[in-house]
Amino acid sequence: SLCAAGKPNLSYQELKDLKKANVLHIDVRERWEIDRFGKIPESINIPLGELMEALQMDPTEFREQYNQKMPSKSDPVVFSCLAGTRSKQALGFAMSLGFN
């Protein structure tokens, strides 16, 4: 399941369309889940337990840790997980930090 603030649930096709517009896709599953079920192309993995810290990192540190430019608070971001519960939590965390 996928979450974005403008629309709490996205279809796979909607995500594909958003990715064409340079939306940052953060997969909040645990690393073992990525190993077991596979990585979603063009997503970055930040397990939910690391997300709050990651979104508050220095941009240079974020790039070193995740090999990706840190999103600004106004950049479009989509969260995904296995069933939708963690992605909704991730969305709440990001919004509480001022991401819109």
Instruction: Please say whether the beta carbons of 48 and 86 come within 8 A.
Output: yes
What local confidence, expressed as pLDDT, does residue 7 receive? 54
* pLDDT tens-digit readout, 42-95: 899 999 999 999 999 999 999 999 999 999 999 888 898 988 889 989 999 999
User: Which amino acid type is present at position 77?
Assistant: V
Handedness of CA 65, 3, 42, 27 (dihedral sign): positive
Q: What is the pLDDT of residues 9-46, one digit of tens each?
A: 777 777 777 777 778 899 999 999 999 999 988 899 99
pTM given for the model: 0.84
| Residue ranges of domains in the chain, CATH in brackets | 2-97 (3.40.250.10)
Catalytic residues: 81
